[in-house]
Amino acid sequence: MKIKIKNNGSVLLIAVFAIALMSVLTIGIAQMHTEEVQLMQNQVNAAQALATAEAGLNDAFSRIRQGNDPNIASTSFNGGTYAVTAGASAISSLLITSTGTTSQGFVARVRADVTKGSSSPYVIRVDSLRIN
């Protein structure tokens, strides 16, 4: 005498649940990876904007050392642009602000309070430096 066990569909049901679980895990991991890549790209763009702003500040320092006006209109650098404005400061002789912008639109500002020496080539002392 044979006993017949009915397992109709139970293996199929377990397989469907296993595939669904693996699909959810795969989608979750892919989403986390996408977010990490975007965060990394934002960090790179912010660093590029800061480097561009620092280049503008260094350009202004070079102009001051030569005795020229440190104000700089929009200048191309590293695929982006920088602009420098200088004005009188209550703390020292000059407050220089350099704004760097990347081609992706990220912006960084570097501000320096500087004191200029009295004889040419002018020595520059940075009294305070503020980033963003």
Render pLDDT for 23-73 as a digit per residue (tens, 0 to 9): 999 999 999 999 999 999 999 999 999 999 999 999 998 888 888 888 998
Burial (CB count within 10 angstroms: exposed 0-12, middle 13-18, buried 19+), residue 57: buried
- Are 54 and 100 a contacting pair, CB within 8 Å? yes
Q: Domains of the chain (ranges plus CATH)?
A: 10-131 (3.30.1300)
**Least trusted range by pLDDT, from 14-23, 62-71, 76-85, 106-115:** 62-71
